[in-house]
Every structure is written in structure tokens, then in C-alpha cells.
Chain A
């Protein structure tokens, strides 16, 4: 049972436009959400996170939105750049469990077309 779901395996966007990556979760106990970025032949790298007490967190071109009632979060990248082409993983953790109980989605491959 996949508690964190990324239903779009891939997404293509023109350079300069907005990229929106979506993630849904089923466990209402999740209270911290993260996005990781992965290039080929490399390990995932942490990108941005959000606590359940917030509904938005922004870091430069990256913004994560959280809709707790819908159990949905999204990552917005604007403007998109070719270097953003990578696989993006959504992850979630439950209260008090921290990093040893982190659930990952299956990933969305973003391609930014120059």
C-alpha cells in the first residue's frame, strides 16, 4: 500500500514556464513533507520541505503548497530551467517518527525543454 502517491510518472515543460508536480498521501498522521530531486547516477538531494502547520513554503524558484484537507501537496518551479530536468520524489513522515519513518512516492520525471 503506497501511502505517498505521485500519479504522474513524467512531465514535460518549456523552459521559462511553470512546472507543477503533484503528490497525494493517505495517512492523516503525516505532518512533515519533503521534496527530493534526483539526477541520473546520483543519490536524491533534499530540495524543500513543509510542515503541516503551514500551507506554503517558498525557496527561490521553488514553492511547495500543502492542502491538508485534500491530503495533497504540490511543488511549483517557476521559471523552469533545463537544469531542473530530474526525477522529483515526494516524501512524508508522521509525528514523532522522524527520518526513520519516511515514506517516498514513486517519483515524477521532469523534462524542461529548452
Chain B
């Protein structure tokens, strides 16, 4: 009954470092997403995937990369971290394209100093 699991929950990075946020879902959902939420702002879509091997950019993809080699996993890679990437990151999944009813993970708070 895990749903969507994200790791790590917290991370502090130095400018220029790289890291990967992990996301796993056990609901056999086809669609997976990465959102970021900045203070006082709504969630913005970074990347999404409609199935293994298929990914596409969302509204704010710059500075990030994703891969989807399995149905379960959808890692988000930050290359050359910048202070502007300080945010809370949410991974989500849905069974299909549907109407927007997403299942979210608990979030990963990233600080870039």
C-alpha cells in the first residue's frame, strides 16, 4: 500500500552539484509526473511520462532530465544545481491520461546553496 514513494525527503546541494530524485509507484500506473512547488506558488510541471521509454517536457523543464525505463520508476536528474532549483519536488502518477486525478508522493525538499 505504498502508493508513490520519493527519496530523499530532504537534501542540501552546493551550486554545481548533481543529484537524482527517486520516485517509485506500485499502482501499475502508466502516467508519471514531476512537479515543483516554489513558496507561494502553485505546482508547476517539470516532466511527465506516458509509459516506459516515453517522456516529455512540461512547463519548466530546464535544468532537469528524466528517464523511464520501467513502469514503476521515474527518476528526476538535476545537473549543475542552481539556487533557482531550490524548491519542493513532488512526483505523481495516474492510471491514464484521464482528467487530472493524480496520486502524489510526500515530496522532496531541495535546497541549493
Contact = CB atoms under 8 A, between A and B. Distances in A.
Contacts of B31: 99-100
A114 to B, nearest CB: 26
A64 interface: no
Given A99-B31, A100-B31, A105-B42, A46 B48 contact: no
Interface stretch (A14-22, A36-44, A66-74, A76-84): A36-44
B102 A42 contact: no
B11 interface: no
B74 interface: no
B1 interface: no
Interface stretch (B13-21, B60-68, B93-101): B93-101
Contacts of A49: 99-101
Interface residues of B, number: 28
Interface of B: 4, 31, 33, 40-45, 48, 50, 56, 58, 90, 92, 94, 96-107
Given A41-B106, A104-B43, 12 more contacts: A34-B100, A41-B107, A42-B106, A43-B4, A43-B92, A44-B90, A91-B42, A99-B94, A99-B98, A99-B102, A100-B97, A106-B40
17 contacts: A32-B99, A43-B104, A43-B105, A44-B43, A44-B102, A46-B103, A49-B99, A91-B100, A99-B48, A99-B94, A99-B97, A99-B98, A99-B99, A99-B102, A100-B97, A102-B45, A104-B43
